[in-house]
Structure 1
Amino acid sequence: MGIGDLTGDDLVKVLATLANPHRIRVIAVLSKQRNYVSQLARDLGISRALLQVHLRKLEAVGLVTATLELSEDGKAMKYYEVAPFALNLTPEACAAAAETLAPRDGDAGDARKEPRDG
């Protein structure tokens, strides 16, 4: 994933997802090697429940991927790894992304509601 592959709305979601220190730490650990939830939680020093919340958010925006595998004893284990991505955030990239943002309530067409000067 690169910044040019994202719509403005997708870019906002990715940046919002990365705006959390736990998620940055998850990306950092997974950038070294893929891992399963229990070991990852131990490595990060957080609960599995909290880790699951962060992993779901990272997976939802495409920053990590998961695969379900069977261990030697037949136990299902979910492994996570970082998905390849590069975000070169420049003013030009922001301008291009802004062109694809979905309109919000109060955007274009509501100019008459703006207070006038003078």
Structure 2
Amino acid sequence: MYGDDLLKVLSTLANPHRLRVLAALAGERDYVSRLARELGISRPLLQVHLRKLEAAGLVRGRAETAPDGRVVKYYEVVPFAIELTPQSIEAAVRTLSAPEETKGQR
């Protein structure tokens, strides 16, 4: 994994709500309303976290038409594995963007 991607994934995972979302989606896909009820958070807050997880490539969403005609967006975990060792961090650091390049992105 490239350094900038690793930083994005790690910073995305450094939030307890996002870890709970990933855990809830680990077994099966789900839609926002049901997932929000299960996690005990508001739908708008959940959608913020889902967008961050999706931007980091950890989940994906897909809109589907329900039998009643409503469009429902389902989310599922994208399979991933992150190995953090001194060697993998050393390799990732070599691919980091220069601090000036990333300053405006954060």
TM-score over 0.5 (shorter chain): yes
* Corresponding residue for residue 50 of structure 2: 55
Q: Which has the higher helix share?
A: 2
Query: How many residues are matched?
Result: 100
Q: How does 1:7-86 map to 2 (within 5 A)?
A: 7-86=2-81
* Corresponding residue for residue 116 of structure 1: none
**Cα distance in structure 1, aligned partners of 2:62 and 2:44:** 18
The structure that has the greater radius of gyration is 1
Structure 1 vs Structure 2: percent identity of aligned residues? Answer: 62
Greater than 6 Å deviation, 4+ residue runs: none
- The 3-state SS of whatever aligns with 2:52 is helix
Q: CA offsets per residue over residues 20-71 of structure 1, 9 Å max, x none?
A: 0000000000001100000000000000000000000000010001110000
* Corresponding residue for residue 103 of structure 2: none
**Cα distance in structure 1, aligned partners of 2:99 and 2:78:** 30
* Corresponding residue for residue 112 of structure 1: none
Cα RMSD for the two superposed structures: 0.6
Unaligned runs of 5+ in 1: 1-5, 106-118
- The 3-state SS of whatever aligns with 1:32 is coil
